[in-house]
Amino acid sequence: MNEIGLALRQIRWQNKAFWRNPAAAFFTFAFPLMFLVIFTGIFSDTQILPTGVRVKGSTYYTAGILAFAVITATYTNIANTVVAQREEGILKRVRGTPLPGWAYLVGKILHSVLVMALLVVIVLSFGRVFYSVDLPTTSAPAFVVSLLVGAAAFCALGLATTAITPNVEAAPAVTNAIMLPLLFLSGVFFPVADAPTWMRVVGNIFPVKHFLRAATEGFLPPPGNAAGWRPGDLLVVAVWGIAGLLFAARRFRWEPSK
């Protein structure tokens, strides 16, 4: 079998392994919906999207939870599971098989993207059925491209994070320490339009806020941008993804820590 075929088989294997752990699969999909219900119930008043548009609280949090779902399915999933498999010696054994290392990682990344796509469909359907959230129409291409660019970038950043994570016990702490503050600083959970200047400056440096803006404008385009494109924000997200990929290429480890 050629290397492309091996990569495709790896995607199927990753999918089987994912669904054979029903508890992990359940909470992967339940957490975003749980946050959507909680935040919408607490903050039901009109909110301001990162694009400056005033919308219902349910619409604001549907957009934010969509971004959260993408990051969870890609960055968090890749960073935690790859470290766990490295420290268990699985990655080292993979290197001794006919399966190319790149095919193994591509299979894991593409499976994460498939999980992300399913999460996005579930969150959109939930928002539509329970909160009457409008789905993107004319801006759908911008919305889809934003999700794909974000997924690629956060997968790369997840691989980069594995290089600085010493062991499996530290993996959740490292990923949460990196991502959780950025989720709040970027306006995923709360509006940051009136936040202190330093918070807005810090949020603008990192890719989460730019991804949120690009995905949100594709999800709910403001007046004057019916197509929903945010090329500047997408460029920032892509640059972070490339930087993460280059860092991972230099520092990625296949063997457990000694």
| Residues 6 or more apart whose Cβ sits within 8 Å of residue 69 | 32, 116, 119, 120, 123
Tell me the average pLDDT across 16-26. 82
The dihedral through the CA atoms of 84, 89, 90, 94 has a sign that is positive
Examine the pLDDT at 43 and tell me if it is beyond 80: no
Examine the pLDDT at 136 and tell me if it is beyond 80: yes
Q: What pLDDT is stored for residue 52 in this prediction?
A: 65
Q: Which amino acid is at 173?
A: A
The encoded tokens of residue 26 equal: 């359940």
Q: Cα–Cα distance between 157 and 150 in angstroms, integer?
A: 10
B/e letters for 27-52, b = 16+ CB within 10 Å, e = fewer, are ebbeebbebbbebbeebeeebebbbe
Q: Cα–Cα distance between 8 and 13 in angstroms, integer?
A: 9
The encoded tokens of residue 124 equal: 């959109």
Q: Cα–Cα distance between 29 and 1 in angstroms, integer?
A: 34
Q: What pLDDT is stored for residue 71 in this prediction?
A: 94
pTM comes to: 0.90
Judge contact between 121 and 21, C-beta under 8 A: no
Examine the pLDDT at 1 and tell me if it is beyond 70: no
The dihedral through the CA atoms of 149, 82, 107, 105 has a sign that is positive
Tell me the average pLDDT across 24-38. 86
Domain ranges of the chain: 3-251
What pLDDT, in 10s, does the model give residues 151-187?
999 999 999 999 999 999 999 999 999 999 999 999 8
Chain mean pLDDT for the chain? 88
Judge contact between 165 and 158, C-beta under 8 A: no
Q: What pLDDT is stored for residue 114 in this prediction?
A: 92
- What is the percent of the chain with per-residue pLDDT over 70, rounded to a whole number? 96
- Looking at per-residue pLDDT, the higher value among 193 and 80 belongs to 80
How do 47-48 and 54-55 pair as beta strands? Answer: antiparallel
What pLDDT, in 10s, does the model give residues 215-234?
999 998 888 888 889 999 99
The encoded tokens of residue 79 equal: 């960073």
